[in-house]
């Protein structure tokens, strides 16, 4: 199994120099997040993830979760690791101090989440889902609901889930069958079954708080008739502790391709007591608070597993001896050269590096917008940040998971035949990553959300909010001595982005299928441009530091070389996505459905 080491140097490069979290925190009044505090958090978080979580990754995959008559037991060591995580204060790092949290910015919580996900993705699912539940209750719950649940969730005494989908409906939540019948005491009787519920049952804590979508008896049809309910596994007693068992049970756990140590459950609700959160029939609005949190977390899984794969691949490529370099022996004292000398291995490694470091920059850029949206006292700044988040969230989820899967596949390929063997650990990373493009709304759904709802649905406003940032950046750096050619390349694509969007919008006015036909290629096209902008931001900082004789020269030169690789080898993929978008929907829809029959 690859030995995980938190990439603190790259994290600090982004935090200290590219995005300057320190100035941002000062402007937002987050004075507790001092440079010394951030440094301590990074160091201690790395130690926990490297020394506690990473050693459980392979064993957790091999053991998996155990199911016995409704009881789920997590793999050996998971419960003890969760106790250490809670005791260390990691669970409430970015949570509201009013409920026992430390009140640090969301961006710091995401940095720790990256380390957790890279060291042990399955384990990270348990606290990860809880953070989403906390955000939904905090945003939409009553004062009583917040007092009842948030302190326990923040402390890690209880965990949370989100229960959306059902066996017959998948992503089409408008046709869910779970029902909520009002009771005289103001509670509701929740009846139905939910599937694919991550961390729906486990042994890590005293109670599990389910956030459940259901329909009231008089609910309108479709998504306008969905309400959201808090359904605890154990009902809180008068003292606020876990009391009487509620009518919710785990019917089974799934046998999966990957993330085997994360319990994916079928949950059955049999007249379970639930409490309405938010307004009746407005549950989807409330759930989106949680879903958007989960989508960012899922996008990060592409980065996390890609990082773990890269670390394994780079070590192997330096150690593995095979053939001689085409330009002559590089290690003549050895029977063969390390495979890192071969151009194709370099291609794979640089692709991994470019996506990982670009996706990390995207994560931190998005995290900075979260901070502004949550903490800024400037209403206009908050709205701009929220618009950027709305635009970037589907890109984060889909682009980062698709490229993360590409990265883990490259990592396995670098190992050759050994990559296919379990003991090396590379195939587990591929298996664990494969679910990420599927859940929290498949990447096809994310693409429809981006193009249909966010871009065309806002008449281009959300897209323009980002392209203006890129335009100003390109104008400010046009003719840059070392990077001016790449700036011009990005500027051209940024202008083309708007023109291409207009073409799709015009075609969609005549045929709505054009949106669905273009959406996935449009999202990937967009993602490549977003990463191009972020790679140039990193490269400009690296060049400034090199010119000033600051920083680690090899690290900074690596940034510049990887930026060059990205612009010459990866960003040109936009051309094929553009061609596919412009091909339209006819070549997809002209073949009759019956022609697909075997």
At 249-265, the pLDDT tens digits run 999 999 999 999 999 99
Q: What distance in Å separates the CA atoms of residue 559 and residue 551, rounded to the nearest whole number?
A: 12
Low-confidence residues of the chain: pLDDT under 70:
290
Q: Count the neighbouring beta carbons within 10 Å of the beta carbon of residue 210.
A: 25
In this prediction the pTM is 0.96
Q: What distance in Å separates the CA atoms of residue 213 and residue 228, rounded to the nearest whole number?
A: 5
Q: What distance in Å separates the CA atoms of residue 42 and residue 310, rounded to the nearest whole number?
A: 20
Of 166, 254, 427, 440, which is the active-site residue? Answer: 440
Q: Which residue has the tokens 């961006």?
A: 107
CA atoms lying within 13 Å on the CB side of residue 317: 23
In this structure, what token pair is assigned to residue 358?
Answer: 């670009």
Identify the pLDDT of residue 45: 97
In this structure, what token pair is assigned to residue 33?
Answer: 């997040």
Question: Beta strands 207-214 and 158-163: pairing type?
Answer: parallel
What angle do helix axes 343-375 and 379-414 make, rounded to 10 degrees?
160
Query: Alpha-carbon torsion 130, 131, 137, 138, what sign?
Result: positive
Cβ-Cβ contacts under 8 Å for 269 (sequence gap 6 or more) = 178, 190, 191, 192, 193, 194, 212, 231, 247, 248
Give Rg (Cα) of the chain.
24
Identify the pLDDT of residue 413: 98
In this structure, what token pair is assigned to residue 173?
Answer: 């939540």
Q: Is 244 a catalytic residue?
A: no
Identify the pLDDT of residue 222: 84
Q: What distance in Å separates the CA atoms of residue 191 and residue 177, rounded to the nearest whole number?
A: 9
Q: Count the neighbouring beta carbons within 10 Å of the beta carbon of residue 408.
A: 31
Identify the pLDDT of residue 119: 98
Identify the pLDDT of residue 288: 74
């Amino acid at each position: 199994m690859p030995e995980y080491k938190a990439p603190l140097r790259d994290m600090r490069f982004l935090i200290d120099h590219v995005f300057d979290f320190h100035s941002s925190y000062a402007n937002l009044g987050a004075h507790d997040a001092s440079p010394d505090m951030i440094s301590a958090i990074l160091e201690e978080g790395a130690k926990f993830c490297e020394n506690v979580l990473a050693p459980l990754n392979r064993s957790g995959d091999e053991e998996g979760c155990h199911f016995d008559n409704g009881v789920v037991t997590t793999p050996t060591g998971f419960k003890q690791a969760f106790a250490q995580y809670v005791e260390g204060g990691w669970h409430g790092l970015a949570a509201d101090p009013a409920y026992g949290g430390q009140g640090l910015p969301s961006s710091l919580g995401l940095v720790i989440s990256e380390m957790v996900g890279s060291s042990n993705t399955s384990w990270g699912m348990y606290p990860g889902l809880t953070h989403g539940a906390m955000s939904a209750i905090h945003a939409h719950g009553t004062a009583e609901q917040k007092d009842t649940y948030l302190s326990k969730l923040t402390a890690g005494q209880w965990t949370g889930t989100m229960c959306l989908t059902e066996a017959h409906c998948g992503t089409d939540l408008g046709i869910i069958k779970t029902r909520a019948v009002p009771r005289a005491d103001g509670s509701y009787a929740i009846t139905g079954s939910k599937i694919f519920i991550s961390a729906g049952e486990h042994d890590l804590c005293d109670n599990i708080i389910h956030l459940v979508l259901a329909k009231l008896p008089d609910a309108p049809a479709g998504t306008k008739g969905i309400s959201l309910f808090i359904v605890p596994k154990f009902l809180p007693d008068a003292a606020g502790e876990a009391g009487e068992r509620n009518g919710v049970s785990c019917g089974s756990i799934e046998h999966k391709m990957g993330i085997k140590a994360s319990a994916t459950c079928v949950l059955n609700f049999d007249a379970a007591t639930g409490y309405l959160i938010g307004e009746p029939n407005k549950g989807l609005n409330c759930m989106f608070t949680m879903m958007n949190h989960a989508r960012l977390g899922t996008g990060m899984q592409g980065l996390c597993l890609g990082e773990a794969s890269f670390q394994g691949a780079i070590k192997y490529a330096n150690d593995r001896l095979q053939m001689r370099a085409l330009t002559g022996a590089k290690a003549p004292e050895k029977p063969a050269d390390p495979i890192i000398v071969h151009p194709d291995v370099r291609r794979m490694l640089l692709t991994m590096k470019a996506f990982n470091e670009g996706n990390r920059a995207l994560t931190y850029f998005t995290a900075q917008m979260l901070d502004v949206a949550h903490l800024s006292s400037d209403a206009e700044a908050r709205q701009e940040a929220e618009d950027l988040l709305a635009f970037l969230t589907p890109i984060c989820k889909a682009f980062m998971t698709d490229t993360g899967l590409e990265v883990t596949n490259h990592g396995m390929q670098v190992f050759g035949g050994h990559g296919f063997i379990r003991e090396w650990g590379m195939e587990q990373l591929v298996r664990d990553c494969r679910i990420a493009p599927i859940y929290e709304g498949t990447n096809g759904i994310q693409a429809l959300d981006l193009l249909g709802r966010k871009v065309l649905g806002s008449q281009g406003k959300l897209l323009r909010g980002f392209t203006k940032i890129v335009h100003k950046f390109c104008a400010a750096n046009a003719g840059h001595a070392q990077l001016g050619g790449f700036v011009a390349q990005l500027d051209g694509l940024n202008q083309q982005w708007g023109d291409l969007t207009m073409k799709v919008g015009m075609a969609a006015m005549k045929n709505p299928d054009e949106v669905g036909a273009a959406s996935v290629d449009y999202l990937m096209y967009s993602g490549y441009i977003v990463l191009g902008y972020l790679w140039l931001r990193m490269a400009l900082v690296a060049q400034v530091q090199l010119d000033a004789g600051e920083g680690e020269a090899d690290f900074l030169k690596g940034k510049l070389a990887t930026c060059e690789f990205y612009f010459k080898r990866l960003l040109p993929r936009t051309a094929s996505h553009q061609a596919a978008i412009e091909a339209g929907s006819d070549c997809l829809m002209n073949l009759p459905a019956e022609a697909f029959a075997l």
